[in-house]
Amino acid sequence: MSEKIYIFDTTLRDGEQSPGCSMNMHEKFRLAQQLVKLQVDIIEAGFPMASAGDFECVKNIADHVRGAQIAALARCNAKDIDRAWAALKGAEQPRIHTFLATSDIHLKHKLKMSREQMLELAVASVQHAARYTSNVEFSAEDASRSDLDFVCQVFGAVIEAGATTLNFPDTTGYALPDEFGAKIRYLIEHVPNIHQAVLSVHCHNDLGLAVANSLAAIQNGARQVECTINGLGERAGNTAMEELVMAVRTRADQMAVHTDIVTEHIYPTSRLVTTITGVPVQPNKAIVGANAFAHESGIHQDGVLKERTTYEIMNPRDIGISTGNIVLGKHSGRHALRDRIAEMGYTLSEEELNRVFVRFKMVADLKKEMFDEDLEAILMDEVLRIPEAYQLLHLGAMSGSKSLPTAAVKLLIHGEEAEQAAIGVGPIDACFRAIAALTRTSSKLLYFSVSSISGGTDAQGEVLVRIEDQGKVVVGQGADPDIITAAAKAYLTALNRLEYLKKELPGKAEA
């Protein structure tokens, strides 16, 4: 019989630890709702002790998101655990996730603690958390580089203390699949009460092995996998959920396990994460990369046309990737738009639908053929972009082979209209200069990319920027048929994020 693998999504916590990847409260809430649609089992909403902003984000999700367990991270101390519970207590199914390192490297250099002290603190912390809820997860940070018999001792003791999920992280991404799988087997064979808890893994991708290590763990008895959308996470990231889930599904002949993930929501969720974090997915990324189902060689194309399975081991539709059909046009009405958006997996309020419809008509007038990707770009722009410090009201730009590139920009800044014109090396440079003058900011542009959403010269352009100001790095995304407008939107999104970071995240504690 096929056993269930619990999917623990940590995009909102470990994923947010990707450089430049912070999300605001509205964005985190949206993503949590999408994760429920995807049917993840547990959403790790954040680390409440890290900052007031993190606390509010976790609380908002715990109080309002239904249909998944909501976890919050806490170090092994009473203050962190109390704070995690204060944020979580409104959840339908709250989980306290507390962690402490077991490796001698961490004990000696970071914690300055003996193994005995570590064991005592882990037990006391789990007991403390278990007074609030029977759903307690304990993570042995840096477990893969720890003495395995010591981890067995710790796991046995924290189960006694009330832990119901035991997580074995490869914190530094050091493990190899065979070795990691054998460690999981060893735990199952040497922790006498292990069957009273769910054994979990949390793998980092420093050697590109996070998915392979997670699969090896499953094959040796782990039943929860911690992962993130698009593999985001600290340094090289975490196990990519889409890769793990599709490997389990596609190779069900090799593993008698399944997940409850609704795979048709994978691609929309990946796009949502790209939009709200501004971190693009590499084109050759498995499952959700732009080239994941593109067949370049003539022989392959011929094979796929004759029979899809000659070169495709998965059906793109099972991942929610559109087949490139024209879905709507400029004569399509609100009902058709609402139905298509629902089919794509999004539920909008009336007010949101109104905004999306107005934008849809504007783009459809210019573009004639609307693909799912176009709708998605509009959705991201209209529904996710909350009115913040700076909003674009109007933009005019002029350029040409002989004329001086000029831009005139009108913004709403904290509710007040302001206008500025500037010249630059090109129209985007002129536009960015005008915005910088209007917002009185002096950020440094680290990265700029423009790509087209769907094909053709009338395609919408998608711009991603990464900027830095006083050591803070943020990203921004914008889409529009006019690429200068798309660039201005991306730049303003990034500036709005900087404002948010300055307000919300002073002195953030770290996991």
Min dist. Cβ of residue 204 to ligand KIV (A): 6
Q: Where are the beta strands (DSSP E) in 237-389?
A: 257-258, 328-329, 369-370
Measured from the CB of residue 139, what is the shortest distance to Zn ion in angstroms?
9
From the list Zn ion, ligand KIV, none, pick the one residue 269 interacts with, judged by a Cβ distance below 5 to 8 Å according to partner type: none
Nearer to ligand KIV by Cβ, of 142 and 374: the residue is 142
For residue 468, give the DSSP letter. E
Q: Residues 358, 479, 234, CA angle at the centre, nearest 5°?
A: 130
Q: Which of 14, 242, 372, 381 binds Zn ion (CB under 5 A)?
A: 14
Which residue, 71 or 430, has its beta carbon nearer to ligand KIV?
71
Of 8-16, 93-101, 344-352, 407-415, the segment contacting Zn ion by CB under 5 A is: 8-16
Contacts of 294 (CB under 8 A, 6+ apart): none
Closer to ligand KIV by Cβ: residue 231 or 405: 231
The region that residue 454 occupies, defined by phi over 0 for left and psi between -120 and 50 for alpha, beta otherwise, is left
| Contact characters 90-109, ligand KIV, x per CB under 6 A | ---------x----------
In the complex with Zn ion, which residue's Cβ is closer, 14 or 462?
Answer: 14
Shortest gap between Cβ of 139 and ligand KIV (angstroms)? 4
The distance of closest approach from Cβ of residue 242 to ligand KIV in the complex, given in angstroms and rounded to an integer, is 19
State the minimum distance, in angstroms, from the CB of residue 226 to ligand KIV: 7
- State the Cα–Cα distance between residues 420 and 415, nearest whole angstrom: 16
Residue 511: name its binding partner from Zn ion, ligand KIV, none (Cβ under 5 to 8 Å by kind).
ligand KIV
**Which of ligand KIV, Zn ion, none does residue 99 bind (CB under 5 to 8 Å by kind)?**
ligand KIV
Q: How far is the CB of 431 from ligand KIV (least distance, A)?
A: 40
Task: Report the C-alpha gap between 380 and 386 in whole angstroms.
Answer: 10
- Please, what sign has the CA dihedral across residues 479, 484, 487, 488? negative
Which pair of structure tokens corresponds to residue 451? 């790509």
- Of 222 and 395, nearer to ligand KIV (C-beta) is 222
Surface-to-core class of residue 400, CB atoms within 10 Å of its CB (0-12 exposed, 13-18 middle, 19+ buried): exposed
Which ranges of 251-323 would DSSP assign to H, the alpha helix? 266-277, 298-306
As measured in angstroms, the least distance from the Cβ of 11 to ligand KIV is: 12
Does position 169 interact with ligand KIV (CB under 6 A)? The reply is: yes
Residue with tokens 């995690």: 84
Q: What share of the chain is helix, strand, coil (3-state, %, to 5)?
A: 45, 20, 30
Helices (H), 92-208: 104-105, 115-132, 148-161, 177-190
Q: For the segment 1-30, give every residue that binds ligand KIV (CB under 6 A).
A: 14
Q: Phi first, then psi: what are they for 344, rounded to 5°?
A: -80, -5
Q: Which of positions 201-240 make contact with ligand KIV (CB under 6 A)?
A: 202, 204
- Of 138-167, which residues contact ligand KIV (CB under 6 A)? 139, 141, 167
Cβ atoms 48, 23 nearer than 8 A: no
Binding residues (CB under 6 A) for ligand KIV: these are: 14, 99, 139, 141, 167, 169, 171, 202, 204, 511
Binding residues (CB under 5 A) for Zn ion: these are: 14
